[in-house]
Amino acid sequence: MESTFKSYRVKEYNQPVERYCRTLDLRDNPALIAEYRRRHDQTNIWPEILAGIREVGILEMEIYISGSRLFMIVETPLDFNWNEAMERLAALPRQQEWEDYMAVFQSTEPGSTSAEKWQPMERMFHLYDK
């Protein structure tokens, strides 16, 4: 029986990386969720936002959705400092404008930065070799 779920290839790096996992809830409104998805289509995301993500040192970022729950995976070099990078990101041109543009869909406080919106998740299980 074939699965209806899609798998996603993981990028390979020539260096060890760290992974950050964060979550954010959207307002539980199908029309708002559809518009949020549309705004995150590769043709609709502002180029300054994509450039800023790379500029602060993020190697890879993925956002997954289930209902109104978002799950973000971020991969970075080992020497990456999350707090410093998020401070730099918040100060980049158009970043807060983008956050405000997205806030209408999110269950967050108006004026919140990306770091304030996306809450860290704790890894509670890891399949590993002993």
- Give per-residue pLDDT as tens, 49-86: 999 999 999 999 999 999 999 999 999 999 999 999 99
Residues in the chain with pLDDT < 50? Answer: none
pLDDT score of 53: 97
pLDDT score of 2: 61
DSSP letter at 60 equals: E
pLDDT score of 69: 98
pLDDT score of 6: 84
Where in the chain are the domains? 17-120
pLDDT score of 64: 96
| CB neighbour class for 27 (10 Å; exposed up to 12, middle 13-18, buried from 19) | middle
14: how many CB neighbours lie within 10 A of its CB?
A: 4
Give the CATH number of domain 17-120; options: 3.30.870.10, 3.40.50.410, 3.30.70.100, 3.30.70.260: 3.30.70.100
pLDDT score of 44: 96
pLDDT score of 16: 92
Best CA proximity match to 39, nearest among 121, 125, 99:
99
Contacts of residue 58, Cβ cutoff 8 Å, sequence gap at least 6:
74, 75, 76, 80, 85
pLDDT score of 8: 85
